[in-house]
Amino acid sequence: MIRCGLELSSELPSLTREDYTTLLSIGTQQSIQPILYHGIKCSNVPEEIMQDFDKARMRHTYLTIQHIAALKNVSEALDKSMIPYVPLKGSVIRDLYPLPELRTSCDIDVLVHEEDLDKAVQIIESQTDFRTLHHAYHDISMANSRVHLELHFNLKENMENIDKLLNKAWDYASPTASGCRYVFSPEFQIFHVIAHMSYHFLHGGLGIRPFLDLWLLRHKTQYSESTICEMCSECGILTFYKECCALSEVWLANAAHSETTEMLESYCLSGGVFGSEEFKNAGRQKEKRGWRYIASRAFPSADEVKAYYRDDTGKDHSLLYYYGKRFASWFGKERRGELKRRIHEVLHSDQAYLDDADELFKRLGL
């Protein structure tokens, strides 16, 4: 159905009424309903099922229009102030889909230089209806009544192996004829997708959508495969890249499965857009299990705690300040509940599931 929705095939499988209901559920979990709708719209689908698909399609079409309009407003504000910026992720990749609304997205992402961040926030707030929500380790979270904006000042994922190249993002960006907008080289665009996929896989798993992005980037843009392999090799994710490419070929080009792609597929289909809670738990305990993991998280590294608990001013403080903010956060009722649930998950983990996940991590070179 995805192949039909991406206009890569016209051979619709024969499905029962129950199959269509299941398909709608999977589409909702994986946020790919518009693709499925685009694939089945000419088939003989039960009317009430088609109405549900159509509602999802209209909802995502509306959101896409809002995202495109919001990015246009933000871009115009940055252009007027001569602030260089790079649109990221879905804002760029949706152009490769047959229709822009087929590439769903929960927000828009834009990268600016860190030294331009304060000015960019001021300009966006003064010239658009976006307002600042909070400061994170790699972006400023902003929103209006319709759209969420992540204004990145770096692409770090707090993973040393990939951050060493993600931190050089501007080295791979080139200006365009459109104001102060920059675009990444095709190779870095693909590397950014696969690096982000590796982060999500280690922190909860992946859904279907990133594999579609990867396949479209590799089949609809011109790039140097050897350059991408060099980038991935430098960052220790070459095996992961190759296996993700292999699974995307299974799904979109009907290639044959390997034992590893079958395992990877199983995990990708076991949850939603960002995997499952069970796989998140397995990722957390990849290096240490049980109480050893809990102890390691109580006192994370200095770099990690500084990244997560920096204040909105961006000023550097003593390590005691950052640990103080961390421990103070534990006293909130919602945070206490979250910690209690996580400790319970860790201490009551299915050890066989953790072993299987470890085997997959090893096969993917992670």
For 233-242, write each residue's pLDDT tens digit.
999 999 999 9
Residues 140, 161 contacting (CB under 8 angstroms): no
pLDDT score at 88: 96
pLDDT the model gives residue 314: 60
274 pLDDT more than 90: no
pLDDT level of residue 277 (50, 70, 90 thresholds): confident
| The 3-state secondary structure of 219-282, one letter per residue | HHCCCCHHHHHHHHHHCCCHHHHHHHHHHHHHHHHCCCCCHHHHHHHHHHCCCECCECHHHHHH
Residue with tokens 């209006």: 144
Place of tokens 């798993």: 205
Q: How far apart are CA 25 and CA 4, in angstroms?
A: 18
Place of tokens 């929705």: 5
Q: What is the pLDDT, as a whole number, of residue 169?
A: 97
Per-residue model confidence (pLDDT) at position 243: 98
- Alpha-carbon span 58 to 50, nearest angstrom: 12
User: What is the mean predicted confidence (pLDDT) over 65-94?
Assistant: 95
So what's the pLDDT on residue 278? 83
The residues with which 63 forms a beta bridge, in sequence order, are none
Average pLDDT over residues 277-302: 78
Query: In CATH, what number does 1-183 get?
Result: 3.30.460
Using the predicted structure, report yes or no on whether residue 312 has a pLDDT greater than 60.
no
Asked whether the beta carbons of 358 and 366 are under 8 A apart, the reply is no
Higher-confidence position of 340 and 362:
362
Q: Convert the pLDDT of each residue in 180-226 to its tens digit.
A: 999 999 999 999 999 999 999 998 889 999 999 999 999 999 999 99
Contacts of 149 (CB under 8 A, 6+ apart): 70, 74, 107, 108, 109, 110, 124, 130, 141, 142, 143
Q: How high is the pLDDT of residue 72?
A: 96
pLDDT category of residue 299 using cuts at 50, 70 and 90: confident
Tell whether the model's pLDDT for residue 345 goes beyond 90: no
Domain boundaries, the chain: 1-183, 185-287+354-366, 290-348
Model confidence at 316, pLDDT cuts 50, 70, 90, reads confident
Residues 152-174: what's their mean pLDDT?
Answer: 95
| Mean pLDDT in residue range 34-57 | 81
What is the rounded average pLDDT for all residues in the chain?
89
Structure confidence at residue 45 (pLDDT): 75
Residue 79: predicted pLDDT: 96
Q: How confident is the model at residue 170 (pLDDT cuts 50, 70, 90)?
A: very high
Taking the C-alpha atoms of residue 156 and residue 195, their distance in angstroms, rounded to an integer, is 10
Pairing of β 148-152 and β 108-112: parallel
Specify whether the CB–CB gap between 176 and 325 falls below 8 A: no
Average pLDDT of the segment spanning 167-188: 96
Q: Which two tokens stand for residue 308?
A: 């997560």
